[in-house]
């Protein structure tokens, strides 16, 4: 069964919805330039409402390792997702500060980008069309990926089943595809989950 991550949650109502749906992962965005940004304090409050079996991922863009590690080690998040220009040096710096899992995100345009992503020493990789662009990319270039990965970029209830059939990801990651007017939409969340579960 393909796992799911709903990213960019900001409100108690969002947590209530994912608790009902019993998701695998949710994401808090800590990049201040994002319209989905939450403060560490808000994330802590939302995490307290989250079912304990649902893992909270913190999304960071070129953040200091000490800041990320503190949020991991104090239980505000369970996993860190590096979504900027971070490389192996940043991963090593985090490994020295925390034992928690790391996801490294890659913008994928070519098969060479995929090969680069596969070499990452992060626990998991995320393959995306871009940083929150809400657009898909050519999933055919993923057919040789040899390690588990999150598929992101432009997924929604209408196309996610096709994406899973064609790309066979470990997990699918969605944000704008389950929103209406920039707010998480409970009906779209449920529709997305139904589409994933029928594959």
Question: Sign of dihedral through CA atoms 76, 55, 27, 152?
Answer: positive
The catalytic residue among 14, 24, 78, 128 is 128
Q: How far apart are CA 24 and CA 83, in angstroms?
A: 20
Active site residue 181: no
Closest by CA to 57, choosing from 102, 106, 93, 121, is 102
Catalytic annotation, pick one of 7, 24, 156, 173: 7
128 in active site: yes
Helix (H, G, I), strand (E, B) or coil at 42: helix
Structure tokens at 16: 């209530």
Locate 24 and state its tokens: 């695998």
Whether the Cβ atoms of residue 9 and residue 18 lie closer than 8 Å to each other = yes
Give catalytic residues, as residue numbers.
7, 128
């Amino acid at each position: 069964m393909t796992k799911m991550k709903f990213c960019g949650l900001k409100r108690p109502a969002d947590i209530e919805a994912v608790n009902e749906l019993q998701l695998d992962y949710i994401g808090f965005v800590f990049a201040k330039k994002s319209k989905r940004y939450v403060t560490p304090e808000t994330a802590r409050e939302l995490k307290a409402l989250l079912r304990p079996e649902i893992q909270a991922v913190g999304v960071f863009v070129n953040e200091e390792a000490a800041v990320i590690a503190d949020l991991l080690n104090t239980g505000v998040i369970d996993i860190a997702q590096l979504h900027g220009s971070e490389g192996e040096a940043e991963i090593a710096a985090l490994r020295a500060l925390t034992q928690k899992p790391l996801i490294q995100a890659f913008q994928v345009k070519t098969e060479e980008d995929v090969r680069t992503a596969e070499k990452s020493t992060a626990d998991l990789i995320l393959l995306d069309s871009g940083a929150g662009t809400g657009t898909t990319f050519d999933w055919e270039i993923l057919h040789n990926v040899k390690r588990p990965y999150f598929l992101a970029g432009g997924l929604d209830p209408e196309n996610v089943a096709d994406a899973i059939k064609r790309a066979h990801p470990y997990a699918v990651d969605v944000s704008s595809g389950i929103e209406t007017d920039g707010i998480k939409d409970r009906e779209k969340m449920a529709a997305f989950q139904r589409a994933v579960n029928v594959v």
